[in-house]
Structure 1
Amino acid sequence: MPGFESLLPRPVSATATGGSRPWPAEVEVENSDAVPAEGYRLDISESRIRITASDDSGVRYARETLRQLVGPSAFRVANVHSGPLTVPCGTVVDEPRFGWRGCLLDVARNFRTKAEVLRFTDLLAAHKLNVLHLHLTDDQGWRLEVPRFPKLTEIGAWRRGSMVGRHDGPERDGRPHGGFYRTDDLREIVAYAAERGITVVPEVDVPGHVTAALTAYPELGAENSAREVWTSWGVNDDILDPSESTLEFFRAVFDEVLAVFPSEVIAIGGDEVPGATERHGTFLIKLAEYLHGHGRRALGWDEMLDAGTLPAPTIIGSWRGEEAGARAAAAGLDVVMCPEQYVYLNHRESDHPDEPIPVGFLNTVEDFYAYEPLPPGLPEDARHRVLGAQAQVWSEHLDSVRRVDYATFPRLCAFSEVVWSPAGGRDTAEFTERLRTHHLPRLDALGVEYRPLDGPLPWQTRPGVPGRPL
């Protein structure tokens, strides 16, 4: 509707009534159980602005919509606008389609400072996403302080260099890389996110992707385990020895995780385990049961479906496609859809010859906007098992916050609308125009170095750094 076409994600309904109200303005808030969770009604007239919601999240999203309506100036940290600001009069009735609207940020492969994580959290909140999945451990680094096991960060939090691009040769950059979050840093991130309606879901990845942990504590692995934090990308053959002593070690690690992160959901990995045995499956199931015994829910990648009979509270992250998610939902397990082919933000954005480090599947803005989180053929009685969807920012080739910005935006803008707005009726041309006209100026105001729609800027390219497109 006129005056409301700039909303992103799209509202369930919007009616413009003409006129405008000066901004900033006092906002009335009314509680009503008639409004769905996280939903809101926003009424703007020349005399008042009123938000009606049933919870704090609804109020928060209504205020975010107001910020969108004011215009890009409202996204700056200081007022640079000359003259009065106004907001158009009308009514918006809005609610999210899915309860899980997430984004994974991999801080293990390339560490992001606390300040950078807080900034990323702000950007998720601006897009009405509500889950930040922090991938805290991997072969290339351990980022979580565990006071009982100090070598995890003393040794496991840094590596002597990194593979440049994606290739099969021995070339490395020779630049040491590292970093980790102290306990109070993580508590601060959690609290900051909560103030913005975002739950931080931590991940400690086991029994594969553990080279950093094995470098610190070799006794956790097989005799021939590597003895340095990995400098390559990809899948390392090192895996945990699924013994009782290893299980006790990681129960203690997760005790620290439980003490720091109040999230109901705790991620335990389970993906890409070369040479996995039945004992490794049992190891994962016992860790899941341990978390469930402490009132939490384990989230594992879809390989966990092959581990054995999973405890009912387990959530499956369907990343290798949609089939595993459909299978898990049909089996009575809750699912978060995050298929590599559709929502991996580290994958290449175009066939443009200057695309930096082009890896993986081709996933354009239009591809993200066309994604449907409910897998085809999913039985009607299993659809409620799909909690929502999650975009993934794996960071092997994202070695700075500028590179994260480039890979993430504006594709995350399209994803945010997919997981918020009703199914069907998506008009790609209309979305692209709305993105170009209204939302990219907001990203400019926020200082986001996104990928331009027509290709990378010269300083966003990486000449001579090899990729591996699929």
Structure 2
Amino acid sequence: MFILLLTLITLNIELNAQKGSSYDLKKLSIEWQLTTNRYEDGSRALNTLIITNTDKRPFPASGWIIYFSSAREMLPSSPSNGLSCTHVNGDIYQLVPQPGFTGIEPGKSIRTNYITNGFSYNKSGAPTGMYLVWGNQPEKGIPLDNYRIGNNLDTTQVYKTPEAIFTRNTLYSAPDPARLSPVFPTPESFERGTGNFELTSEVAILCGNEYRKEAEFLATALQRVTGKQPVIATAFIRPVRSIQFLPATLPDESYSLMVDTGQVTIQAGSASGFFYGVQSLLTMMPGETTAGRSVSLPVCRITDKPRFGYRSLMVDIGRNFQTKAELKKMLDLMALYKLNTLHLHFSEDEGWRIEMPSLPELTAVGAQRGHPLDSKKNLPPSFGAGPLTGKMPASGYYSRNDFIEILRYASARHIRIIPEVETPGHARAAIKAMDARYDAFSKSGNMTGALQYLLRDTADQSRYSTAQAWTDNVMCVALPSVYSFIERVVDDFRDMYREAGVPLKTIHMGGDEVPDGAWEKSPACLALLKQDSSLTEINDLWYYYYTRVAEILRKRNIEMAGWEEVGMRKTKLAGVKKLIVNPRLANEGYQLHVWNNMVGWGNEDLPYRLANAGYKVILSPVSNNYFDMSYYKHPDEPGFYWGGFTDVDKPFYFIPFDYFRNTTENANGDAVRADAFVGKDLLTDYGKSNIIGLEGLIWSETIRSEANLEYMVLPKLLGLAERAWAPDPAWANEKDTAKMNIAYRKAWSDFAYRIGVMELPRLSTWFGGYRYRIPAPGLVVDAAGVQANLQLPGFTLRYSTDGSEPDLKSRIFTGVIREKGVIRIKAFDKTGRGGRSVSVTVK
């Protein structure tokens, strides 16, 4: 009887699937809405999916599954209206009809609810990449294109209102442009003279052969300005107005720049020094330049050197990919503002983005996302990829030749590229690619080849879940094949760097977020613990792994970098699991990128503790330098916010050697408590010597386009550039808090004027133009009418009075709006591109 019943149920499902597979999915619409945060008074959000059948026939009751990505962790809950949302792996979830679900009648809608962890403040909390799979076609996913994000506003939340933005914007007061530095970032010293140097198409470049490449770079840049590429020569038979490269005894990256009425002289002792002198000369030019016209440069004397030798941007192309052309645009941007290191996060759970000729599976499998979910031919469709492989930005990679080209492009701009091979965690793309290699070799009977680069213990029964909800993304560090894999990848990189003519000095080997539970039930790991007397517990496998990896790199004269956990040890304090600084590896020369310093999380002083212990630290703080964090709390501002909110001022006001002093808000955007840093370690003088640089980071979970990347990076990157290059500002060392605040306000106004009036207009057109974020206006209504202001100067405000979206034909805001109605205001840049509008109703 039971077998007969089961057969009938199975037959019914198959029949429904066959019937459903002919249903026109364009007639199925889905809308997501945020119902409420603080669901049942907890730190949870109630979400609603509204599914509507616009067809003339019913949508079937069974025989289908809808898959989607969710950035917010979905909590277990009972089915809602006959539909159940459950976790698959990573950020992939499924919506499955339960017994008793009757389908959706023509013209009808159903609502189904699910609960997510934490609060949803903007659209990043919405599902993405929805697609359906019919039961009789399990290998085929069909995109659900008729999906929209509906209401994502929670009236219980305190968002940044136009009034709050207006108050914040009053921090700016217009400076006297004549006293500002003529170059950016701010140089060590400058002295303004009298008169100007007229840069025309007749100006030549005087340079010896040693620095010819830097002279050619300048000549190409000047062609964009004057319309003609200058002549470069080692000598002239008659006097000419020129830009002269003059070798001098100066430290690496240092330079001096002298502008006189008849000549410009750049002095430096290295190619990088001349290059940065060139970049300073370029930033002296007006933000708006038209090819073919002359440019007046003010007479001045500048001496300059960087504050930090390591000035970096980390770009994540593992989660979502960026084209070669866009990465080159990022390199141009970095070079202009004197950043010298691209930390390329090319490998992740969700993607491997550089071709390794020795291991083609890494990109054949690891660079493709889509359906099906078994990871045999492609990775799952994380971050809203949808079911179809081969589509940017979920799928894609750089060929070997592409990467060599990128290396040369970066090197010409005095930028080194540090590739990050994420290990032993965050390694799912590599693990699954090597699983595919194992399957192919084992099927052909070549077990030696199958096992050569295998990255997991096939008998491992360990159970764990990562911060990103993956359950199978950690390499088995006990397998010799893991180290064979590392050697193979490192050697492939060495070959590419060698062919590019670029030295490979450092590789970042990851080390981030290996979860509790990994390795605990791996027979290979347990056997290693018995064999090696230096290993006493599972956590010791961490040091075993990094000691072996460091030795692989050391034999090849390559330095090892890693995330902060490389210098940490898991232990217990009063029975509670805790990460502490591990002195055992402090003198190994490891370079640590330390991000975990958010106030309220307990590790506010971690960068300082590691530096004080002897580790070389690159400050990569989530509190100030995570560029993928939303600008501020607003439903229409894109980006994550788990690490707080990062507006353009955050990287600017970061004090590298004492960021406790002006940490003003926690991850929720609320003011910090007065005792937030009580008992935390300050940076010692010895620790200061171990802070070797600053890094801005752009993670790409929410980055789905080039425009989105540029919006999140700019203008935040300009604050990073200023803090990494410019001398320590006087306001940061002022002991009196009131005086510090006054001095900071003046410095902020100078900075805001510089980037709003000079740099952003330049970036509108240079290198093809960048789609930076145009700030939304602040608004207040008082007895006089509607007043508006902006965070940055240099934009034009236009408004409407009927609630319509302002455009270039709308009236210009000149002071106070006295009309009634729905007043909507938007800022526009010099090219006519607009930002986000804001509105207020005046009755």
TM over 0.5: yes
Counterpart amino acid of residue 550 in structure 2: A
RMSD: 2.4
Residue number in structure 1 paired with 2:655:
372
- What is the distance in 2 between the residues matched to 1:259 and 1:235? 35
64-73 or 307-316: bigger deviation: 307-316
- Encode CA deviations 1:335-371: one digit per residue, 9 max, x unaligned: 1110112110001111233202443311111111101
Q: Which residue identity does 1:64 align to in structure 2?
A: Q
1 CA distance for matches of 2:385 and 2:505?
A: 40
Distance 2:179 2:305 in 1: 19
**Does the alignment pair 1:154 with 2:379?**
no
Q: Output aligned runs, 1:110-189, within 5 Å.
A: 110-160=320-370, 162-163=381-382, 173-176=386-389, 177-189=394-406
* 1:320 counterpart letter in structure 2: N
Percent same amino acid among aligned pairs? 29
1:270 and 1:300 in contact (8 A); partners too: yes
Alignment of 1:13-28 (within 5 A): 13-24=189-200, 25=203, 26-28=242-244
Secondary structure of the corresponding residue to residue 454 of structure 1: coil
Provide the secondary structure at the position in 1 that maps to 2:693. Answer: strand
From 702, 712, 727, the counterpart of 1:407:
712
1:52 equivalent in alignment to 2:267: yes
Change (3 A) 1:142 1:318: same
Specify the alignment match of 1:386 in structure 2. 691
1:322-401 equivalences in 2 (<5 Å): 323-360=605-642, 361-375=644-658, 377-401=682-706
Helix, strand or coil at the partner of 2:623: helix
Indicate the structure whose relative CO is greater, using CA pairs within 8 Å and at least 6 residues apart: 1
Contact 2:774 2:834 in 1 (8 A): no
Which piece of structure 1 moves more, 326-335 or 141-150?
326-335
**Is 1:267 aligned to residue 508 of structure 2?**
yes
1:444 and 2:764 correspond = yes
Is contact 2:455-2:476 (8 Å) kept?
Answer: yes
Q: Is the 8 A contact 1:73 1:81 kept in 2?
A: no
Aligned to 1:245: 481
Partners in 2 of 1:97 and 1:235 — Cα distance?
40
Distance 2:565 2:658 in 1: 18
From the superposition, tell whether residues 92 and 203 of structure 1 become closer, same or farther in structure 2 (CA, over 3 Å): same
**CA 1:249–1:241: 2 relative to 1, 3 Å:** same
Deviates more, 1:360-369 or 1:399-408: 360-369
Q: Is the 8 A contact 1:373 1:388 kept in 2?
A: no
1:222, 1:407 → 2: CA distance? Answer: 40
Structure 2: distance between partners of 1:3 and 1:82: 29
Asked if the contact 2:313–2:341 (Cα under 8 Å) also holds between the matched residues in 1, the reply is yes
Counterpart residue type for residue 314 of structure 1 = Y
Determine if the alignment matches structure 1 residue 254 to structure 2 residue 523.
no
Matched position secondary structure for 1:2: helix
2:283 match: 68
Distance in 1, Cα, partners of 2:639 & 2:342: 25
Deviation (angstroms), 1:416:
0.3
296-305 or 368-377: bigger deviation: 368-377
Distance 2:180 2:652 in 1: 20
Paired residue for 1:98, among 298, 308, 311?
308
Match of 1:420 in 2: 725
Letter of the 2:596 partner, please give it. R
Q: In structure 2, what is the equivalent of residue 77 of structure 1? A: none
CA drift of 1:193 comes to: 0.6
Match of 2:798 in 1: none
- Show the counterpart of 1:464: none
Q: Counterpart in 1 of 2:295? A: 85
Q: In the alignment, which residue of structure 1 is the partner of 2:141?
A: none
> Contact 2:629–2:639 (CA<8 Å) still a contact in 1?
no
Aligned counterpart in structure 2 of residue 43 of structure 1, from 220, 245, 258: 258
What is the distance in 1 between the residues matched to 2:639 and 2:305? 38
Aligned-residue offset at 1:306:
2.4
User: How far off its partner does 1:30 sit?
Assistant: 1.4
Are the counterparts in 2 of residues 406 and 451 from structure 1 also a CA contact under 8 Å?
Answer: yes
Distance 2:758 2:323 in 1: 30
What residue in structure 2 maps to residue 167 of structure 1?
A: none
Structure with greater helix percent: 1
Q: Distance in 2 between matches of 1:7 and 1:260?
A: 36
Map Cα deviations across residues 234-274 of structure 1 (whole Å, 9 max, x no partner): 35232011122212222211121233242311100000111
Cα offsets for 1:66-122 (capped at 9, x unmatched): 111122245xxxxx3464222111111111100000000111111111121111111
Contact 1:247–1:287 (8 Å) recurs in 2 = yes
Which residue of structure 2 lines up, in the alignment, with residue 465 of structure 1? none
Alignment match, 2:247: 31
- Residue segments in structure 1 that go unaligned for 5+ positions in a row: 75-79, 165-170, 227-231, 462-470
Would you say the 8 A contact 2:187–2:726 is kept in 1? Answer: yes
- SS of residue paired to 2:692: strand
| Residues 211-249 of structure 1: CA deviation (Å, up to 9, x unaligned) | 1111111341244899xxxxx993523201112221222
Q: Any idea what SS the aligned residue of 2:588 has? A: coil
| Paired position in structure 2 for 1:221 | 456
Residue 468 of structure 1 is matched in structure 2 by none
CA distance in 2, matches of 1:459, 1:235: 38
Give the residue type in structure 2 aligned to 1:402.
Answer: A
CA positional deviation for 1:5: 3.3
Counterpart of 1:12 (choices 165, 184, 188) is: 188
State which drifts further: 414-423 or 14-23. Answer: 14-23
Counterpart-to-counterpart distance in 1, 2:639 and 2:624: 18
Structure 2 unaligned spans of 5+: 1-176, 204-241, 371-379, 436-453, 498-502, 519-538, 570-581, 598-603, 660-681, 731-743, 778-825, 828-832, 837-843
After TM superposition, the score normalised by the length of structure 2 is 0.50
Instruction: Tell me which residue corresponds to 1:466.
Output: none
Q: What secondary structure sits across from 1:186 in the alignment?
A: helix
In 1, Cα distance between the equivalents of 2:179 and 2:835?
34
CA contact (8 A) 2:431 2:455 kept: yes
In 1, distance between residues paired with 2:637 and 2:291?
35
Is residue 2:538 matched to residue 1:294? no
Q: 1:117 to 1:241 in 2, by over 3 A?
A: same
**Does 1:192 find its partner at 2:514?**
no
Which residue of the other structure, out of 215, 218, 234, is the alignment partner of 2:468? 234
Aligned mates of 1:42, 1:270 — CA distance in 2: 42
Work out the CA distance in 1 between the residues paired with 2:629 and 2:636: 14
Q: Structure 1 pair 358/267, CA: closer, same or farther in 2 (3 Å)? A: closer
Q: Which amino acid aligns with 1:316?
A: L
> Is the contact between residue 300 and residue 315 of structure 1 (CA under 8 Å) also seen in structure 2?
yes
Matched AA of 1:16:
R
For the 8 Å contact 2:774–2:835, the answer to whether it is kept is no
Query: Following the alignment from structure 1 to structure 2, what is the Cα–Cα distance between the partners of residues 256 and 235?
Result: 31
Out of 577, 583, 593, the residue aligned to residue 317 of structure 1 is 593
- TM norm structure 1: 0.88
